[in-house]
Amino acid sequence: MKEFKTAEMDGRTKLLTIILLVLLPLLAISSFFIRPQKLSISLLLTVVFIAVIFISYAFVPKRIALSSEQILIQNLFGAVVINLNEIKSVEELKKTGLNLRTFGVGGLFGYFGYFNGRDVWYVTNIYKKVKITLKSGKIYMLSPENPETFVAEIQKISA
Order the strands of the 63-66 sheet from edge to edge: 2-4, 63-66, 70-75, 78-83
Instruction: Give the model's pLDDT for residue 33.
Output: 78
How much is the pLDDT for 100?
A: 60
Cα distance between residue 71 and residue 74, in whole Å: 10
Q: What pLDDT, in 10s, does the model give residues 92-121?
A: 887 777 676 767 778 889 888 888 888 889
Helix (H, G, I), strand (E, B) or coil at 28: helix
Residue range 1-159, CATH number: 2.30.29.30
pTM of the model: 0.81
What pLDDT is recorded for position 125? 92
* Stretch among 4-8, 46-50, 91-95 having the lowest mean pLDDT: 91-95
Determine the pLDDT at residue 106. Answer: 81
